[in-house]
């Protein structure tokens, strides 16, 4: 046995989120909208950021090229006007020009490096010098090689560089130009322009894009929540009204507001509910008329049946005085009168179930004794058909709070059917019990039933083989009544079978009136060969639920 499944407080948060996602349309719509908005904001922000960054870099490169061209031209004029024979003056001029190109604030402005060209093989009187902490090793080697290949034009690269006075690598524009010093040969002038302000602009833009993206996501989430609320609120109202209709409150209707699609849906829903209510009322009326008709006819037939039975019993008692055909007719009349009376009793019982007037009289009774009594009642039939009854009962009493008359009727019906269809093979009856549930299985090894026949075995007036000769003269209502008897006890009556392998009926009942078997027990398998054990003889695992006391129960 296992308890009815309920809310599990120990479920993982991930499972809770998954159930929330699965059971809430609003959560799915808002989450999907937020994710799509986040993806679009990220994509749009990335594209815009790259475009702005490329624009800033292109502008910085253009400014650097123009400024470097002016600075190199001024420096070249200064070197050209220097005395060719004065090495000291040439060095002083070189230092002055480097300082002049660096400007007043080299930490934020240009960094300058004057260095002999790679193809300068002269013994230069001017050593390499720089301002701003730039070393020749910090420059890309490809830049110096490009000046060797094309000394007449500027060479530009954008690379991150470690610069004095600035934290971390700073993306910088490096412009290389060729300059000629008197008697010193070719020198390369490298002007480094740190993109500090451009980086600050990009950082500010990044923050603005992030803030704008979050704002956009929140806006999309708000719009999604508002939109889903406008759509899901009528759907939730429709679901609530549908549940009320399912519970039998047929007068519930949806409010109709406006003339939009949701209003049309509410109008269609109300029209459908009106139609269903009308049809249910008609069906209820027809059902009440049918129940009353069956009950009235059954009651009205009892009076003529009593008279006919008295006359039939007199004829049956005097059959020895009649000729052989008349005596045989008297015997057949007596048999059919018994069958007719049984049919009337079962019709009355069915009408009680249909009208909800069946009264369940529960008492603590020994199920073993009830099974034993039912077996004793069919021994004559079993002996006539040559069927052996194998009964497996617990040694101790099995006390069940039940209506013994109804349970005994279930067992007699199951046993009679098993003997009738056993083909003179053994019929096995087994009782198993646990603390709160008992199970009684009746299995034969006769002709068996296919899947389609099993689906109709509890239908009223249904027979597996109408052409088959029956010994017991059944009415076709026995199994239908047996199923109702099991249901009012809070139990289940199940069948398992296979053609040519026999049939097994299993009755599962709660031992007390406190619980009911809330869900169908596991299916019953076909019986194994005679003499072999089967798992269906044990109490199956079931789900118990608290029983609501039936007003017809005593």
Asked whether residue 476 is domain-assigned, the answer is yes
Same-domain pairing of 440 and 538? yes
Residues 95 and 188 in one domain: yes
Query: What is the structure's pLDDT at 33?
Result: 79
The whole domain housing 19 covers 15-250
Using one digit for the tens of pLDDT, what is the confidence trace for 247-273? 777 788 878 877 777 788 788 888 888
**Which pTM value belongs to this model?**
0.50
**CATH code for the domain of 48:** 3.30.450.20
Q: Answer left, alpha or beta for residue 42, where phi above 0 means left and psi between -120 and 50 means alpha.
A: alpha
Residue 15 confidence class, pLDDT cut points 50, 70, 90: confident
346 and 404, same domain (yes or no):
no
Q: Does the pLDDT value for residue 411 go beyond 70?
A: yes
Whether residues 369 and 511 fall in one domain: yes
Calculated CA dihedral for residues 494, 497, 503, 506, nearest 10 degrees: -20
From residue 120, give the alpha-carbon distance in Å to each of 108, 136, 144, 239, 480.
31, 15, 12, 89, 113
10, two tokens: 């120990």
Poorest-pLDDT segment among 41-50, 182-191, 293-302: 293-302
C-alpha span between 414 and 79 (Å, rounded): 123
Is residue 504 in a domain? yes
pLDDT tens for 112-171 read: 888 888 888 777 677 878 787 788 888 888 888 888 888 888 889 888 887 777 777 888
- DSSP-derived letter for residue 386 is T
Indicate the number of domains in the chain: 3
17-40 pLDDT, tens per residue?
A: 677 777 777 777 778 878 887 888
Strands (E) across 134-222 are located at 155-162, 169-181, 185-194
Do the Cβ atoms of 190 and 176 come closer than 8 Å? yes
Residues 368 and 432 in one domain: yes
**Same-domain status, 511 and 469:** yes
Residues 365 and 301 in one domain: no
Residue 535 has pLDDT above 90, yes or no: no
């Amino acid at each position: 046995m296992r308890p009815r499944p309920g809310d599990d407080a120990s479920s993982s948060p991930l499972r809770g989120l998954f159930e929330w996602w699965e059971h809430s349309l609003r959560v799915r719509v808002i989450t999907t909208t937020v994710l799509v908005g986040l993806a679009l904001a990220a994509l749009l922000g990335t594209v815009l950021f790259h475009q702005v960054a490329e624009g800033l870099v292109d502008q910085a490169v253009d400014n650097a090229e123009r400024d470097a061209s002016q600075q190199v031209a001024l420096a070249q004029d200064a070197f050209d006007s220097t005395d060719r024979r004065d090495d000291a003056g040439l060095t002083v001029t070189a230092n002055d020009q480097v300082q002049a190109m660096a400007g007043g604030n080299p930490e934020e402005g240009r960094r300058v490096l004057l260095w002999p060209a790679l193809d300068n093989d002269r013994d230069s009187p001017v050593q390499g010098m720089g301002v701003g902490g730039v070393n020749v090793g910090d420059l890309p080697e490809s830049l110096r090689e490009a000046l060797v290949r094309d000394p007449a034009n500027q060479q530009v690269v954008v690379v991150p560089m470690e610069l004095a006075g600035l934290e971390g690598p700073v993306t910088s524009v490096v412009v290389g130009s060729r300059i000629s010093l008197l008697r010193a040969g070719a020198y390369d002038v490298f002007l480094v322009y740190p993109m500090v302000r451009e980086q600050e602009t990009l950082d500010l833009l990044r923050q603005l894009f992030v803030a704008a993206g979050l704002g956009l996501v929140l806006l999309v989430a708000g719009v999604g929540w508002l939109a889903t609320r406008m759509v899901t609120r009528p759907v939730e109202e429709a679901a609530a009204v549908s549940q009320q209709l399912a519970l039998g409150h047929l007068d519930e209707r949806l409010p109709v507001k406006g003339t939009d699609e949701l209003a049309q849906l509410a109008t269609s829903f109300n029209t459908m509910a009106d139609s269903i209510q009308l049809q249910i009322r008609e069906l209820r009326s027809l059902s009440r008329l049918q129940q009353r008709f069956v009950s009235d006819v059954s009651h009205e037939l009892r009076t003529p049946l009593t008279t006919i039975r008295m006359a039939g019993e007199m004829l049956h008692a005097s059959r020895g005085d009649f000729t052989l055909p008349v005596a045989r007719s008297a015997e057949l009349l007596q048999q059919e009168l018994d069958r007719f009376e049984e049919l009337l009793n079962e019709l009355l019982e069915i009408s009680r179930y249909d009208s909800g007037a069946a009264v369940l009289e529960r008492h603590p009774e020994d199920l073993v004794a009830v099974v034993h009594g039912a077996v004793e009642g069919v021994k004559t039939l079993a002996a006539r058909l040559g069927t052996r009854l194998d009964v497996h009962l617990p040694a101790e009493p099995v006390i069940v709070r039940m209506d013994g008359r109804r349970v005994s009727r279930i067992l007699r019906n199951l046993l009679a059917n098993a003997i009738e269809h056993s083909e003179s093979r053994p019929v096995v009856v087994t009782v198993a019990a646990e603390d709160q549930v008992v199970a009684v299985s009746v299995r034969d090894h006769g002709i068996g039933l296919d899947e389609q026949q099993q689906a109709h075995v509890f239908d009223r007036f249904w027979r597996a083989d109408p052409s088959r000769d029956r010994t017991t003269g059944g009415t076709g209502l026995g199994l239908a009544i047996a199923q109702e008897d099991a249901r009012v006890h809070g139990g289940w009556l199940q069948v398992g079978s296979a053609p040519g392998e026999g049939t097994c009926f299993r009755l599962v009942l709660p031992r007390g009136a406190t619980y009911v078997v809330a869900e169908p027990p596991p299916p019953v398998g076909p019986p194994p060969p005679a003499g072999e054990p089967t798992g269906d003889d044990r109490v199956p695992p079931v789900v118990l639920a608290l029983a609501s006391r039936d007003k017809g129960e005593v």
